[in-house]
Amino acid sequence: MRIARLDSETDFEGWRGHARALLCDGVPPEGVTWQVGAAQDSLFAILDAPAPPRDPAYRPRVSKRFLADAKLALCHRDATRFDLLYRLIHRLQDTPDLLSNALDDDVIRLNAMIKAVSRDRHKMRAFVRFRAVKGVADTFVAWFEPEHRIVEENAPFFVRRFANMNWSILTPERSAHYNRAALHFGPGTSQAEAPDGDALEDLWRAYYGAIFNPARLKVKAMSAEMPKKYWKNLPEADLIAPLIADAQKAEAGMVAAAPTSPKHLADYAFAEPTLRPGDTLAALRREAAGCALCDHACHATQTVFGEGPLDARLMVVGEQPGDREDIEGRPFIGPAGALFEAALAEAGLSRDDLYLTNAVKHFRFTPKGKTRLHQSPKIGHIDQCRWWLKAERTLIKPRVTLAMGATAIRALAGRAIPVGEARDTGFDCFDGRAGLATLHPASILRQADETVAATMRETLVADLKRARMMAMQDQSLSGQNTPSPDRPHWNHALQPSS
């Protein structure tokens, strides 16, 4: 039997040195006895200091994680922890992944010890209560009774938190002192050495009493997180019993008390859109901000209205705002917007040259965790939101309209036309103006095949160029922009109602 002697109950370096030597010597877990403090008489060979290894080439191996675990477990009050840790480190030499086996009895015990010590350490950080030392500036002393031997392990936390304060934490077995420069440890003390009060404690107790809601009494939940063993050193704990005793009375009082009548009620109604002659784009935008015509308006952040000069000759219509557009309130500023802007530049256009808007003005999505998945608008949404598109077109009077993607085509044409067909032949918008069609930039982003995506992008640029030419040509051909008489009028809805 070998005896390994440690300097103190939490002598981690000593334990580690002994464990290394014992492993090198091939000592089995049952062949060692651990002792703390001065040597006692014994029939066995006493190993005061680790002996040099018999086989200098042998290096016991152990993971960093185990060493961290062992350091914590060593703070546990269980007297068998040294044996357990040595048995584990011994077994780890042959089974390096032993710690991941949550069904192994030694691992279960180790985990339980670590959990108990971590919890105690956390509770000490929570429940230490400093009291100011009278007459000495910024100097505080706390009395605390931890369950395990955690003072040394935990003191650096208090240094980090209270680096510019003088403080001491006194406990029955160990004390920690810090003077704004260095941390040192001393023996345990009695409670009498700590101050017996602090003027601030009345305020703290007042706060504790006021923040408590008597209508939600949950004593078990409180006691689970703040076990009674800690109460004796918490200044607020005196209040617990009276607060509970009064709680039911206070709650019953509030329920029974006659309610008071509200002093005033404000009317609240959702605005129906109304466009009057002479309304400006700004007025329209303001009105649209309050739109709640369709069911997904209530899920989106805001109405994303179109933007661009009032005298724009070219109107470009997309599908609906996306995540970024919904957050910032402007059309085409997300990833598809970046692609669109680059394509515009290639076509010799900039955002300032055109009026840019969407067929549907609210973002439609399904939430998924911390993201949102785009959902295409339904036909009902497109039809409902056409009201705003009509209003925009009435004010802008674009000579040429470019619809990007199927939703925009549907909104402008009033019926579904395949994108390819609409692109080849063009289409008539609901107000009789000429409509061109192209791909939606987002569909290019979604295309996985890079060659296909590049071709699609070229198509978009070509269509933008065509739209630009037509818009300019149209202007040179006719200075006016009345729709040709043989096309149907769709904009009756915007005439002042009689």
Residue 184 near other proteins by CB under 8 A? no
- 225 or 449: CB nearest other proteins: 225
Residue 282: partners with Cβ closer than 8 Å, 6 or more residues away: none
DSSP 412-458: HHSS---HHHHHHH-EE-TTS-EEEEE--HHHHHH---HHHHHHHHH
Of 414, 422, 432, 427, residue with least CA distance to 481: 432
Residue 133 near other proteins by CB under 8 A? no
Q: How far is the CB of 201 from other proteins (least distance, A)?
A: 8
Q: Where are the alpha helices (DSSP H) in 10-63?
A: 12-24
The gap from C-alpha 47 to its chain's centroid, in whole angstroms, comes to 53
Among 137, 298, 448, 477, binds other proteins (CB under 8 A): 298
Q: How far is the CB of 132 from other proteins (least distance, A)?
A: 8
Residue 140 near other proteins by CB under 8 A? yes
* Contacts (CB under 8 A) with other proteins, residues 6-65: none
Residue 366 near other proteins by CB under 8 A? yes
| Interface mask toward other proteins for 369-408; x: CB under 8 A | xxxx------------------------------------
How far apart CA 279 and CA 274 sit, in angstroms, is 10
Among 91, 299, 351, 465, binds other proteins (CB under 8 A): 299
Among 266, 448, 477, 480, binds other proteins (CB under 8 A): 266
Q: How far is the CB of 496 from other proteins (least distance, A)?
A: 28
Among 327, 395, 445, 462, binds other proteins (CB under 8 A): 327
Angstrom CA distances, 456 to 221, 234, 336, 354, 442, stand at 61, 70, 13, 22, 11
Q: How far is the CB of 453 from other proteins (least distance, A)?
A: 25
Residue 469 near other proteins by CB under 8 A? no
Token output for 303: 């109405």
What amino acid occupies position 275? L
* Residues 424, 338 contacting (CB under 8 angstroms): no
* Contacts (CB under 8 A) with other proteins, residues 187-206: 198, 200, 202-204, 206
* Residues 436, 401 contacting (CB under 8 angstroms): yes
Token output for 104: 């192994």
* Residues 151, 143 contacting (CB under 8 angstroms): no
Number of residues located near other proteins, criterion CB under 8 A:
94
Token output for 287: 């009105």
DSSP state of 224: H
Q: How far is the CB of 186 from other proteins (least distance, A)?
A: 20
How far apart CA 354 and CA 341 sit, in angstroms, is 12
Residue 365 near other proteins by CB under 8 A? yes
Q: How far is the CB of 121 from other proteins (least distance, A)?
A: 11
* Contacts (CB under 8 A) with other proteins, residues 242-261: 243-245, 247-248, 251, 254-255, 257, 259-261
- 155 or 422: CB nearest other proteins: 155
Scan for tokens 């939490």, then name that residue: 10
Among 57, 211, 448, 477, binds other proteins (CB under 8 A): 211
Residue 209 near other proteins by CB under 8 A? yes
Token output for 1: 């039997």
Among 130, 143, 178, 305, binds other proteins (CB under 8 A): 130
Among 1, 222, 283, 338, binds other proteins (CB under 8 A): 222
DSSP 53-88: PSSTT------HHHHHHHHHHTTSS-TTHHHHHHHH
